[in-house]
C-alpha cells in the first residue's frame, strides 16, 4: 500500500502575552478551522501557530488510518518525504518551522545568532538555546504589518539626535558627536561609533530612561493636543509603545532601527545578527533549519 502523504494536522499554539486575544486572533481562527475539537478562550492571547515538527510544538496527525501520532514521528518513519539532499543535510529532520503570528503589542528587540554562535550557545546553555542551528527568518505580511529591522543609515540617526533631545541625553554628547563625525568616515569607524551610541542607550540607568521617556511623551502629547504633526519623530508610534510598555528603554529603538510597514504579500528577510522587533499586524514567518511574528507568516530554520 502506498504511503499516505497528505493528511490533516492539529497545530500547536503559543500563548505569548503579545498575541491578539481570543477569536480576534487569526491564529485562533486558523486553529478552529483546522481542528473541530479546538476550543478558543476569549481571555487568552493566541500569538503563534506552529506548523512543523519542533519538539515544543510537534503537530498532531488527525487521521486514524495513520499509525504515527505526530508529524515528527511520521517524518522519522518516512524519510523519503524529505528528499535525499535535505535528509542528508539536516539529519532526517524537517529543516524549517512555519508560523503564523498575530501581534497585538510589540515584541522585544532580538537578533538571531549565526551558526557558529548558535553552536557555542547551545553547548554553554542548552536549557536556553535548545538547538545548535542558526535562525534566518522571513516574515510575509498577511495584513498591514509593522516592524523594526536593521540599523538606520547614520544620517537618519543623527537627525533624530538633533530633533529628540531626550534621545541625545541618553546617548551622551561624546558618543553623539562621534556618530556625527563618522558619517564621513570609513565603514569600520562608522560601525564603531554606532556600536558606542547603541551601547550607551542600552546601558542607561532604568530611572534615567524612564525620566527622559516621560519628558518625551509629555512633549509629544502637548504638541499633538495643540494640533501639531509629530510624525517627523514618530510621535504617534512612540506614544503607542510607551502605553504598552511604560518607561521601557525599547521605546527609543525606533530612532535606531528601520521602521517598515508591509502591505499584504510584502516581506522582510532577517539574517543572522540583524536586530529586529515586530510591532503589530498579522504575518507568516519561516524559520529555516532550526527549532527556534496584525498577522504575519514566518519561516524559521529551527531543527
Query: 130: buried, middle or exposed (CB in 10 Å: 19+, 13-18, 0-12)?
Result: middle
Q: Say yes or no: 143 and 283 in one domain.
A: yes
pLDDT at 294: 39
Instruction: Give the domain range for residue 195.
Output: 153-255
Q: Say yes or no: 268 and 212 in one domain.
A: no
Q: Say yes or no: 110 and 171 in one domain.
A: no
pTM: 0.84
pLDDT at 2: 64
Q: Say yes or no: 191 and 301 in one domain.
A: no
Q: Say yes or no: 15 and 115 in one domain.
A: yes
CATH of the domain at 190: 1.10.441.10
Q: Say yes or no: 231 and 295 in one domain.
A: no
pLDDT at 87: 92
Task: Name the stretches of the chain with pLDDT < 50.
Answer: 288-303
Give me the number of domains the chain comprises: 2
Q: Say yes or no: 244 and 103 in one domain.
A: no
Cβ atoms of 297 and 124 closer than 8 Å: no
Q: Of 154, 112, 98, whose CA–CA distance to 284 is shortest? A: 98
Q: pLDDT of 120-153, one tens digit each?
A: 877 888 877 776 777 788 899 999 999 999 999 9
Place of cell 539532499: 85
The three-state secondary structure class of 299 is strand
Amino acid at each position: 500500500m502506498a504511503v499516505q502523504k497528505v493528511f490533516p494536522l492539529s497545530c500547536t499554539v503559543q500563548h505569548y502575552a503579545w498575541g491578539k486575544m481570543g477569536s480576534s486572533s487569526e491564529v485562533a481562527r486558523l486553529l478552529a478551522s483546522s481542528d473541530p475539537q479546538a476550543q478558543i478562550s476569549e481571555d487568552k492571547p493566541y500569538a503563534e501557530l506552529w506548523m512543523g515538527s519542533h519538539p515544543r510544538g510537534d503537530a498532531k496527525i488527525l487521521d486514524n488510518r495513520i499509525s504515527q501520532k505526530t508529524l515528527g514521528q511520521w517524518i522519522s518513519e518516512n524519510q523519503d518525504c524529505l528528499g535525499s539532499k535535505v535528509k542528508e543535510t539536516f539529519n532526517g529532520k524537517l529543516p524549517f518551522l512555519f508560523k503564523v503570528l498575530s501581534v497585538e503589542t510589540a515584541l522585544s528587540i532580538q537578533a538571531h545568532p549565526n551558526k557558529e554562535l548558535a553552536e557555542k550557545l547551545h553547548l554553554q546553555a542548552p536549557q536556553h538555546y535548545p538547538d545548535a542551528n542558526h535562525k534566518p527568518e522571513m516574515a510575509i505580511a498577511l495584513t498591514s504589518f509593522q516592524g523594526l529591522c536593521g540599523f538606520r543609515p547614520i544620517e537618519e540617526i543623527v537627525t533624530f539626535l538633533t530633533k529628540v533631545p531626550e534621545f541625545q541625553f541618553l546617548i551622551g554628547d561624546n558618543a553623539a558627536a562621534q556618530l556625527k563625525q563618522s558619517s564621513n568616515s570609513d565603514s569600520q569607524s562608522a560601525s564603531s561609533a554606532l556600536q558606542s551610541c547603541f551601547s550607551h542607550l542600552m546601558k542607561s540607568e532604568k530611572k534615567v530612561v524612564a525620566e527622559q521617556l516621560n519628558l518625551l511623551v509629555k512633549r509629544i502629547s502637548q504638541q499633538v493636543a495643540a494640533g501639531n504633526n509629530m510624525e517627523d519623530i514618530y510621535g504617534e508610534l512612540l506614544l503607542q509603545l510607551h502605553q504598552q510598555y511604560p518607561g521601557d528603554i525599547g521605546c527609543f529603538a525606533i530612532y535606531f532601527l528601520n521602521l517598515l510597514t508591509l502591505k499584504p504579500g510584502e516581506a522582510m528577510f532577517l539574517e543572522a545578527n540583524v536586530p529586529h522587533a515586530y510591532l503589530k499586524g498579522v504575518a507568516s514567518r519561516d524559520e529555516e533549519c532550526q527549532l527556534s511574528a496584525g498577522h504575519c507568516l514566518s519561516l524559521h530554520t529551527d531543527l
